[in-house]
Amino acid sequence: MDTTKSSAPPTTTRELRGLALYRDHGAEITHEGHGVYTVPGCGGGTYTVDLAVFGGEETCDCPDHARHPERSCKHIICATVYRATARAAARREQAARTKARASRASLAPLVALGG
């Protein structure tokens, strides 16, 4: 019998709800700048999330985060997933542009020779 314990904490309901919120409403999130996002609420309306990219504490103006500021609410989790997804897409786009420039640069001597 395996008695080892995982070092990862169990997934919380807030995490699952944050992922579901991103899945269902991710296209409605707006990036306001400097780590601040407007995230839709499940019951309508929006909440402002600050992911504290310059330090400090992550904040959300939802009632759940006001009651439990020591925990990430579903809106903070949703905004975090949105930010990570957007950053990954930007890295992929940059890599594709870099690859295309390198390809053109490697073909430049052949073009100059008329080949």
DSSP single-letter state for residue 59: E
Q: What is the pLDDT of residues 4-21, one digit of tens each?
A: 554 555 567 999 999 999
98 within a domain of the structure (yes/no)? no
103 within a domain of the structure (yes/no)? no
DSSP single-letter state for residue 58: -
Bridge partners of 49, per DSSP, are: 37, 60
Q: What is the pLDDT of residues 36-61, one digit of tens each?
A: 999 999 888 999 999 998 899 999 99
- Residue 102 pLDDT exceeds 90: no
DSSP single-letter state for residue 62: S
109 within a domain of the structure (yes/no)? no
Q: What is the pLDDT of residues 23-39, one digit of tens each?
A: 999 999 999 999 999 99
102 within a domain of the structure (yes/no)? no
76 within a domain of the structure (yes/no)? yes
Please report the sign of the dihedral spanned by the C-alpha atoms of residue 12, residue 84, residue 76, residue 19: negative
Supply the pLDDT for residue 12.
Answer: 75
What's the domain count of the chain? 1
Supply the pLDDT for residue 44.
Answer: 86
Supply the pLDDT for residue 97.
Answer: 77
Q: What is the pLDDT of residues 64-99, one digit of tens each?
A: 999 999 999 999 999 999 999 999 988 888 887 777
62 within a domain of the structure (yes/no)? yes
Which structural domain, as residue segments, surrounds residue 50?
13-90
70 within a domain of the structure (yes/no)? yes
3 within a domain of the structure (yes/no)? no
